C-alpha cells in the first residue's frame, strides 16, 4: 500500500519536484563532463557506460514527449545533450 501523500499531491507539485531533481541530475552530469574535459589522457569512462545512458535519456525524453510531461521532457533533453557531449569526449580520446 502506497503512502497517502503520493496520491494527494497535485500534478503541479510533482512537475516542480521533477524539474528540481532532474536539474540536480543534470548538474551531476555537467560535473562529470567538466571533469572529463579537464582530464589529461584517456577517459576513465567506458564507451558502453556512456552509450547506455544515451539510450536511457533518449527513452525518457521520448516518454515525456509521448505523455506530454514538461519536467521529463526538459530535464531529459538537457541530460541527453550533456551525455552526447560526454560521448563525443570519450570517443575522441
Confirm whether 37 is domain-assigned: no
Domain with 75 in it: 45-93
Between the alpha carbon of residue 69 and those of residues 27, 28, 57, 72, the distances in Å are 20, 22, 14, 6
Q: Can you give the pTM of this predicted structure?
A: 0.87
For the chain, 93 residues long, give each residue's pLDDT as a single digit of tens.
568 888 888 988 989 999 999 999 999 999 999 999 999 988 989 999 999 999 999 999 999 999 999 999 999 999 999 999 999 999 988
Q: How many structural domains does the chain have?
A: 1
Amino acid at each position: 500500500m502506497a503512502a497517502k501523500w503520493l496520491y494527494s499531491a497535485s500534478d503541479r507539485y510533482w512537475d516542480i519536484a521533477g524539474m528540481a531533481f532532474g536539474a540536480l541530475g543534470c548538474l551531476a552530469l555537467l560535473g562529470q563532463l567538466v571533469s572529463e574535459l579537464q582530464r589529461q589522457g584517456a577517459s576513465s569512462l567506458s564507451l558502453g557506460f556512456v552509450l547506455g545512458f544515451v539510450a536511457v535519456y533518449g527513452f525518457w525524453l521520448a516518454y515525456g514527449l509521448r505523455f506530454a510531461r514538461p519536467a521529463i521532457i526538459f530535464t531529459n533533453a538537457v541530460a541527453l545533450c550533456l551525455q552526447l557531449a560526454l560521448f563525443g569526449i570519450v570517443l575522441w580520446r
